[in-house]
Structure 1
Amino acid sequence: MTEQMYYETFDRMEEFMTLGFEAISVPQEDAKTAAKVLIESDKRGIDSHGVGRFKPIYIDRIEDGILNVETKIDIIRETKTTALLDANDGLGHVASVKAMEIAIAKAKEYGTSMVAVKNSSHYGIAGYYSLMAAKEGMIGITGTNARPSIAPTFGVENMLGTNPLTIGFPTDEDFPFVLDCATSTTQRGKIEHYARIGKELPVGWVIDEQGKDVTDPDIALLGLVKGTCALAPLGGAGEVGAGYKGYGYATVVEVLSSALQGGPFLTQLTGLDENGQKVPYHLGHFFMVVDIDAIVDRAAFEKQAGDIMRTLRASKKAAGEERIYTAGEKEHLAFLERSETGIPINKAVRESLTAVRDKYDVDFKFVWDE
């Protein structure tokens, strides 16, 4: 039987998350920033990183004392084109928006820039920050490390985070090009989504200690925490599907997110101390921006980028396939659809949102309360 879905508008869900963050003592402006990043995921149809993570990732970690409600950002080092920020274990969204704002400003003046962040936390949808640059007519690149999930090629131990390497740039179309994906075959958030809807995982996403596939999402999630399961790198386990490529890119992101700012790495990012007690994750992020106008006429770049996308979509399709997509297109289509229908909220997410509202006495009435 199909689960009943309720639909809430973008504005209402953003308003509730803002109020929820404020209710747990996050300063108002920071609450607005975090809610805006989270809702962008739902707007783009990426249900793994939006309202579904509001409670289990952010509210719960604040309650556990491993995520600070106030995001105090210190500039540790700075040049005309670079900067290193310390987020002091605050909200990753807040620190990352600030970092990308700095990177954009520096690139506007000097052509290119790079900003790194240390002692941060989960920063939500990586594409949000690349979009910030694309909206300014620039190329935006970002990446972050994360708690161990990916096994190296020929290994079974979760060592690397899902470590997205995300790139965005403007085109002359109605939407920018945004490639926002993990360097694993899938990411933990999507497995959480499958668990919420009770759906079995595809073969090739998760392996156990013997290298065998795990398709039960609950077993996979528990195994990822216990270290008895690991995500396959992009391309799959072993070399048959060229999984060494995903493994290599995940390692690049790990280095740029840790060695570049002297932060913890790999299994130091479990969020647990030697006694198994929860501690801040101390994640690292990096943000790179290129001002297109500093190299070539931006309008010409956008036109040629658009031509490339249109040519790709017009190429010969596989039998039975109706269309070819380019990066950012499906998300744009999801945005157009959800602008009309609202965000689909399943039972598990409804329960988590309601729990936050009731616990913190947030004055808000959901559509499912009517």
Structure 2
Amino acid sequence: MLHHISFDYMEKFMLDVFTAIGVPADEAKTCAGVLIASDKRGIDSHGIGRLKPIYYDRIVHQKIQQASTEFEIVRDHLATAVVDGHHGMGMVVAKRCMQMAIDKAKKHGMGMVVARNSTHYGIAGYYPLMACAENMIGISGTNARPSIAPTFGVENMLGTNPLVFGFPTDEPFDFVNDYATSVIQRGKIEQYAREGKDCPEGLIIGRDGKSKTNSKQILEDLVKGEAALAPIGGIGEENGGYKGYGFATVTEVLSAALQQGAFLQQLTDRDANGERKPYQLGHFFIAIDIKCFCEPTDFRKSAGDIMRALRESEKAPGAERIYTCGEKEHLTGIERADSGVPVNEALQKDMITMRNELGLGYKFDFE
């Protein structure tokens, strides 16, 4: 049965879990903050749903991720920097990198920081929004474990590789296009599997070149290399799949080549002998100071005017409204402020497991 938990209670639980597995208090606050931001925005694939399989299990059971983050600045040159995260918490690495980019942009107009040897950093949109709050344009991307097949291929080579832009506006919410460069991303498939749903046709390609729909089987096949995600546009060229393939490749190059890190099929959790190893992810962060081009208030109004014009344009027959990027997430945040985070039975079991294993003093309403 679906249950709702308040933002504050859920964030405190996640904070206590992170702290209990060895994440330092200030870093745990960052990690829990990124995850609850995802749940608030309705990106359920990257909030509490990721706590156990992506962070808890990798630190506690698989031992391929460090709970405490060693943040090493490898190169630092005026508007740019290269950072090594030493397999620590991706959210900690990412937030510090974006803050560095913002600080550099304040001095030089633009700042770019790239990171290597990092881990999953949560929702990519969190970091461009940090720049928006400082009257800046924010850009971020990350590579990931192999999932996407190149157009006309069936082998999972590229990660879901989000390429995200954030623009401040004069509206109650900023523009942020937070999504993967695949038609669907692994977290959404995990969500389908938890809910007992099949994936829609045409999103996953098997080694035989045919579409796959069984969510649980797809997750197994992705790990075994027997299935791959289609890039944005879908399987083949007919619907523009080569465009998503191209953007995923752009993210891969910017995430790996500048910091000389791992890429493509090197980004797995197994070495040549089949032993567990860290994922070695790379990220990039760009901040652009708007005041170097025009007054921030003028930019915000122009950006807002563009969004309003798009939403006020003629709607398709039967369509109730047109949205712009960031709007649905904003509306979900307002709705969930009262209802809280939805937690299905699978997530409830995960929360109980973590609580029991760690000996945390929580009694959940759904028990």
Deviation per CA, 1:202-233: give whole Å up to 9, x if none.
Answer: 11111100111111101110110000000000
Alignment-derived partner of residue 260 in structure 2: 262
State the TM-score, normalizing by the size of structure 2.
0.99
Residue in 2 that maps onto 1:16: 13
> Which of 54, 57, 62 is equivalent to 2:59?
62
Gaps spanning 5+ residues in structure 1: where? none
Q: 5+ residue gaps in structure 2?
A: none
SS in 1 for 2:336: helix
Q: Name 1:245's counterpart in structure 2.
A: 243
Other-structure match for 1:44: 41
Partner residue of 2:81? 83
| TM-superposed deviation, 1:79 | 1.1
1:31 aligns with 2:28: yes
Tell me the residue number matched to 1:313. 311
Q: Is the 8 A contact 1:85 1:117 kept in 2?
A: yes
**Preserved contact between residue 161 and residue 266 of structure 1 (Cα < 8 Å):** yes
Deviation at 1:80? 1.4
1:110 offset after TM fit, Å?
1.1
Any conservation in 2 of the 1:169–1:178 contact (CA below 8 Å)?
yes
Distance apart, 1:366 and its partner CA: 2.0
Residue identity opposite 2:43 in structure 1: I
Moved over 4 A (4+): none
SS at 1:367 equivalent: coil
Determine the structure 1 residue equivalent to 2:362.
Answer: 364
Out of 123, 126, 130, the residue aligned to residue 125 of structure 1 is 123
Q: Give the number of aligned pairs.
A: 366
Q: Distance in 2 between matches of 1:153 and 1:90?
A: 33
C-alpha distance in 1 between matches for 2:69 and 2:209: 40
| Alignment correspondent of 2:301 | 303
- Aligned-residue sequence identity (percent) comes to 57
Supply the RMSD in Å over aligned alpha carbons. 0.7
SS at match of 2:192: helix
Q: Shift in Å at residue 297 of structure 1?
A: 0.8
SS class of match (2:366): helix
Deviations 1:163-184 (A, max 9, x none): 0001111100000001011111
Match of residue 155 from structure 2: 157
- Identify the residue that residue 208 of structure 1 maps to in structure 2: 206
**2:322 equivalent in structure 1:** 324
Please name the residue that 2:182 is paired with: 184
Q: Distance in 1 between matches of 2:313 and 2:363?
A: 48
In the alignment, which residue of structure 2 is the partner of 1:282? 280
The CA deviation string for residues 24-66 of structure 1, in whole angstroms up to 9 with x for no partner, is 1111111111000011100000000000110011000002110
- For the 8 Å contact 1:5–1:344, the answer to whether it is kept is yes
What amino acid is aligned across from residue 354 of structure 2 in structure 1? V
Letter in 2 for 1:122: H
Q: CA deviation at 1:365?
A: 2.5
Report if aligned partners of 1:7, 1:367 keep a CA contact under 8 Å in 2: no
Task: Give, in whole Å, the separation in 2 of the partners of 1:66 and 1:55.
Answer: 14
